Homo-oligomer: A and B are copies of this chain.
Amino acid sequence: MAGNTFGKSFTLTTFGESHGPALGGVIDGCPAGVPVDINTIQKDLDRRRPGQSAIVTQRKEPDTVEIYSGVFEGKSTGTPIGFVIYNTNQKSKDYTHIKDSYRPSHADYVYDQKYGFRDYRGGGRSSARETAARVVAGSIAKQLIAPIEIQAFVSKVGELSLPNPGAISDFSYIEQNPVRCPDAEMAAEMETYIKQVRKEGDTVGGVVTCIAKNVPVGLGEPVFDKLHAVLGQAMLSINAVKGFEYGSGFAGASLRGSAQNDLYNEDGSTKTNNSGGVQGGISNGMDIYFNVAFKPVATIMQSQETIDNKGETVTMEGKGRHDPCVVPRAVPIVEAMTALVLADFTLRNRNSKL
């Protein structure tokens, strides 16, 4: 059983390789009557697109989505929504140098071992290009779960980090800067740093923080499909992610219970939110917030020693057009996966009571 479907009631199945004719997906389980606006979807896709600023990859991928089914007169019909994004700017010859060799910290080696061979062009299925399909589906999911609002942003690049990202409430500057950091001063520092790293032919990691507001009480399905557990899977399934924490997270491991516990107000809200909006795996009506750690992009513009598929040492030069830092473009992907998770649990929660 393969792993290209996400969700149980609102499900997304994606297909497509980096350099095949097209990628796309099928959403099954979207209820009838959800507004589906192609321009809104395209706007989300454009936030993920390469070439949108000076600090991301300069590849040109227009990423235009075509919806082939499941939508009629501007609304979902309850039948599967199939969509396709054509690959129009592949330069497959860029990748002949990796046909027989394994790029360090890429998936080349394990794909060859697992499947016996691989579509080596541009990383094939292991390319983050696949996430474009997630953004399309996430955009539709957002319509389903309104008025929930999901906002992600960059809270860390290398050693530069915002002090208390879960508490940020002014999101207005996020889309005003290429780093997608909500703080103007920090955004400028990060941008400078990323440019410096790129100049050195290197890459750098970072952290994306995500906050979801207006989440109703009751989303999440104990015991294995706790809300934060499935959010964790969703985030960790994004390329280059190395860690996930919600609420007090890893810092909570240092706390005492008397400091961690969130006391109630009389309306059921809590005075603090160390729980990150989730108790016992179920949303409690407070803001959901979590952090997602991304490693630096593995392709660097420096020569590295590696091996070929005969096990012999070869030297590999970095080639192609790659991101020096992935987190600015990861922001819409994190939001999309969050929307998919919340849409799925919204539908599943309809069956919690008789």
Contacts and interface: CB of A to CB of B under 8 A. Distances in A.
A275 to B, nearest CB: 6
A139 interface: no
Interface in A212-229: 217-218, 220-226, 228-229
Contacts of A349: 114
A254 interface: yes
Interface string A89-117: 00000000000001011110111011111
A9 B144 CA distance: 20
B13 A13 contact: yes
Contacts of A5: 5, 11, 13, 28, 224
A351 B350 contact: yes
16 contacts: A2-B348, A3-B220, A3-B223, A4-B222, A4-B223, A4-B224, A9-B9, A15-B80, A32-B114, A105-B279, A110-B283, A158-B253, A206-B253, A207-B253, A243-B244, A263-B306
Interface stretch (A51-59, A177-185, A296-304): A296-304
Interface residues of A, number: 152
A263 B104 contact: yes
A266 B31 contact: no
Given A31-B353, A104-B263, A116-B353, A348 B1 contact: yes
Given A81-B15, A257-B298, A107 B282 contact: yes
A312 interface: yes
